[in-house]
Amino acid sequence: MPEPLDELYRDIIMDHYRYPRGRKKLENADMRNEGQNPVCGDEIELSLKLDDGRVDEVSVECMGCAISVASGSMLVDAIKGKSLQEVRRIAAAVKAILKGEPLPEEVEMGDLEALAGVKNFPVRIKCALLSWTTLIDGIEALEEGVVANVTSTE
């Protein structure tokens, strides 16, 4: 397999793609947002339950390519137990890693490091970002008092 592909589809990414975390739908979510990537038709539904200002439960249902599904699955692991401010920091760090920029602050990336290979495939960055922009838009809407929303990457 050509080398850049191994960089893109790292084992961790393929594992998240095959066994995505947090697919169980949440009842009575505190925040729910749908995201779409019209270019490729990827769709995502993301919901959160908060407890004392921290993310208690996350659900991500993603219909899409390996990169968007894996990124959404990693999101589930990465933001559980985090405050909304920490969640924003992680999302910013994911954006940085996809653009090949230095990480903004000390953020524990864990599996998310595996997304670094996407930066060599510019057309795929949107795939990796879909769940994160859906998350951040949802949080922003929540802070403005909106519980359900729709996000498009266009």
Q: What angle do CA 104, 150, 23 make, to 5 degrees?
A: 75
Among 25, 39, 53, 150, binds another protein (CB under 8 A): 39
Question: In this structure, how many other beta carbons lie within 10 angstroms of the beta carbon of residue 1?
Answer: 6
27 binds another protein (CB under 8 A): no
23 binds another protein (CB under 8 A): no
Query: Sign of the C-alpha dihedral, residues 113, 91, 147, 54?
Result: positive
5 binds another protein (CB under 8 A): yes
Question: Please, what is the minimum distance in Å from the beta carbon of residue 18 to another protein?
Answer: 9
Q: 138 to each of 11, 48, 57, 121, 123, how far by Cα in Å?
A: 30, 9, 15, 27, 24
4 binds another protein (CB under 8 A): yes
Q: Alpha-carbon distance 119 to 22, whole Å?
A: 25
Number of chain residues interacting with another protein (CB under 8 A):
22
Q: Alpha-carbon distance 88 to 90, whole Å?
A: 5
Binding region for another protein (CB under 8 A) out of 74-82, 103-111, 122-130, 145-153: 122-130
CB nearer another protein, residue 65 or residue 75: 65
45 binds another protein (CB under 8 A): no
Among 23, 28, 30, 42, binds another protein (CB under 8 A): 42
Phi, psi angles (nearest 5°) of residue 123: -70, -15
- Positions touching another protein (CB under 8 A) are 1-2, 4-5, 8-9, 11, 14, 39-43, 63-67, 121, 123-124, 127
